[in-house]
Every structure is written in structure tokens, then in C-alpha cells.
Chain A
Amino acid sequence: MESLLALSIGVLVATSVYLMLAPNVLRFIFGLVLISNAANLTIFLAGRLTPGAPPLIAEGAAAPAKLVANALPQALVLTAIVIGFGLFAFALVLMFRAYTTLGTLYSDEMRVAEPRENDSI
């Protein structure tokens, strides 16, 4: 299971790097979504895949009765997903605004803030 997950993380990262190298910023955003999910899976995998019961402690007991799953990486991943989603939403809107105000989706053509030497401002 671990190796399967590790492989799929690898595929995700490879795909996203390919997408992020594209000059089209929309592709970059899609790459970003994939790679942030790869990072989330990395955390999940780093916490070890323990096939155990949910980490719940019975009422009155001090410790769980049997082997339970590690709850911490799940909490971390959950936080990271929420943050990642917020950032993705922002980035998507930003790219849309960039398209409407700058008229292009290609990063090479976005030269308003850093005009070339011979461009007239």
C-alpha cells in the first residue's frame, strides 16, 4: 500500500511539474492543485498507514483499548487542505483578473510591471 501511494505521489508531482512549466498560467494553477495534493498525501504517508480503529477513547478510559490510527497527520492534512483550497480559489480569481485586465494568460507576455527596455510605457 505504501509503495502504491508513494508511486502515485510521484506521478502527481511529475504531472504537476510538467504543467507548471507551461507558459500558460492557467496550466500552472492546475499543476499547483495537483502538487498541493501530492504534498498532502506525503504528510499522510509520512504518518505511516496504520490500519486501525478511529482514535477514539471510550468514556472513562485513559487510553484507547486497541491499536488506533495516528490522528495527527490527518489533522495536519485537513488543515493543509483547507488552506490550500483557499489559496487555490484566490489564485484562480487572480488569474481570471489577470486575463481580463492584461488580456493574456501567457506569463511571457505579462510585462506591465517589468517592461522591456525598448517598450514604450
Chain B
Amino acid sequence: MGTYRSYVTGFIASLILTLSAFYVVWQHISNHHQAFSNSFLIVVIIGLALIQLFVQLTFFLHLGRDRKSRWNLIIFLFMVMVVVMVVGGSLWIMRNLDYHMKPHDAETYIIKDEGLSSH
């Protein structure tokens, strides 16, 4: 059950997290996409989004606070497992297909990646 305090805390934390993710990306764009490496930005954006997920689940949805919502938590964790399999599996499979089906430069970069000689 929520209190005034929990909603205010959740709101302020979410604002800070949203604005900082935006700020980092905005700095990157303003510096002609040179400020940070792409992998660093992806880690920062996903990390901040996951923290905000946790913040909102705790302070807005009050998940897992009392013992009565234990089942809610278990169903939530089951959903997370399904989501990880669907999203992770799709990306993995499609990436692999993409790797093997690039028509023009497949030969060159597969040869390079796999360390084969071209003859």
C-alpha cells in the first residue's frame, strides 16, 4: 500500500533517472556523436532504464513489499524469464541469421572473422 512519501520518492527518482539518461545522450549528439562510445551509451541507457523499472515497481506498484503480494512477485519473475527468452532468443537467432545471409560482403567478412584464408 502506497504512502505519500513513497510516491514522491518514486517520482523524484524517476525524474532524475530520465533526465540523466537524456542528458548523456544529448551530450553525445551535441558533440557530433563523438563524446562516448556506442557500447558505453547502450550500457548507460539500459542500466538507467532498469534502475527506473526497479524504482517504479517498488514505489509506484509496491511490488514485494508485504507478504501478501508474494504471488505477484513470483508471477512477475516468471514473466521476466519469458521476456528474457523471447527477446534474448530472437536477437540471438536473428543476429546469427543476419551474419550468414549478407549477400555481398558475407564471404569477405566471414572469411575474416573465422580466420580462414580466401583460397
Asked if A pairs with B, the answer is no
